[in-house]
Amino acid sequence: MLQTGIFGGTFNPVHNGHVELARRLLAVARLDEIWFVVSPQNPFKRALHLLDDNMRLEMVRLALENESRMTACDYEFGMPRPSYMWHTLQAMARDYPDRRFTLLIGADNWARFDEWFAARDILANYPVVVYPREGTALDATTLPAGVTLADTGLVPGSSTEVRRLIAEGEPFSHLVPPRVAEFIDAHGLYR
């Protein structure tokens, strides 16, 4: 069985922090691969200001070009919206019986996990790995059974910061992979 980590995100846009985290998670969570599942719409976020799905996916593809164990995944593009992770995991488990899926969640998302659709079913059926994020406190002693804390350390970066710098005309290319910076410039995104 291949151990596959599901790294779901809006990726608007993908940044260096995402890739660095995935590198560390591959090592500490003992995964064979990580799929970056681009979410057409996070149930908690408003669709407003959200860049086109295919452009966000393309940037993830570009960001992962040299990462042999990471894949850009458009699985949720063909599913009803908003994208509920429970439905995604169940459908993937059916479609890929040779893989065992582990859900990877940042501390900021974990803080509201009890509001996720079918949160208890997710916990009962899939291993969950939570990783720390700057600005969100995480108490490892309160994690339920089946949920582990990955010791990735804190990794800087946020898509909000990337979008803000671009909108203000400030340099941003140090925060994203080079091919992603080229794509953003070529298409005039986030200005």
Q: Is there a contact between 41 and 47 (Cβ–Cβ < 8 Å)?
A: yes
Look at the alpha carbons of 136, 141, 145, 148 in this order and tell me if their dihedral is positive or negative: positive
- In the complex, which residue's CB is closest to ligand NCN? 8
Which of 35-43, 89-97, 133-141, 146-154 is the region at the interface with ligand NCN (rule: CB under 6 A)? 35-43
The CB density around residue 108, as the number of other CB atoms within 10 Å, is 14
> Does a cis peptide bond (omega within 30 degrees of 0) precede residue 177?
no
Please give the residues from 89 up to 118 whose contact with ligand ATP meets the rule CB under 6 A.
Answer: 105-106, 108-109
Out of 5, 17, 40, 177, name the contact with ligand ATP by CB under 6 A.
17
Residue type, 135: G
C-alpha to C-alpha distance for 115 and 69, rounded to whole angstroms: 31
Out of 4, 12, 83, 88, name the contact with ligand ATP by CB under 6 A.
12
177 binds ligand ATP (CB under 6 A): no
Output 86 or 190, the one with its CB closest to ligand NCN: 86
Tokens linked to 13 = 């846009």
In the numeric block, the tokens 């990580």 are attached to 34
45 binds ligand NCN (CB under 6 A): yes
- Per-residue binding string, ligand ATP, 112-151, x by CB under 6 A, is ---------------------x------------------
116 binds ligand NCN (CB under 6 A): yes
164 binds ligand NCN (CB under 6 A): no
Smallest CA-to-CA distance from 108 within 78, 146, 77, 135 is with 135
C-alpha to C-alpha distance for 117 and 44, rounded to whole angstroms: 11
Beta strands in the chain (DSSP E): 2-9, 33-38, 70-73, 99-106, 128-131, 147-149
Out of 157, 172, 177, 181, name the contact with ligand ATP by CB under 6 A.
157
Output 63 or 155, the one with its CB closest to ligand ATP: 155
State the residues that interact with ligand NCN by CB under 6 A: 8-10, 37, 39, 42-45, 83-86, 109, 116-117
- For binding to ligand ATP (CB under 6 A), which residues are involved? 9-12, 17-18, 21, 105-106, 108-109, 133, 155-160
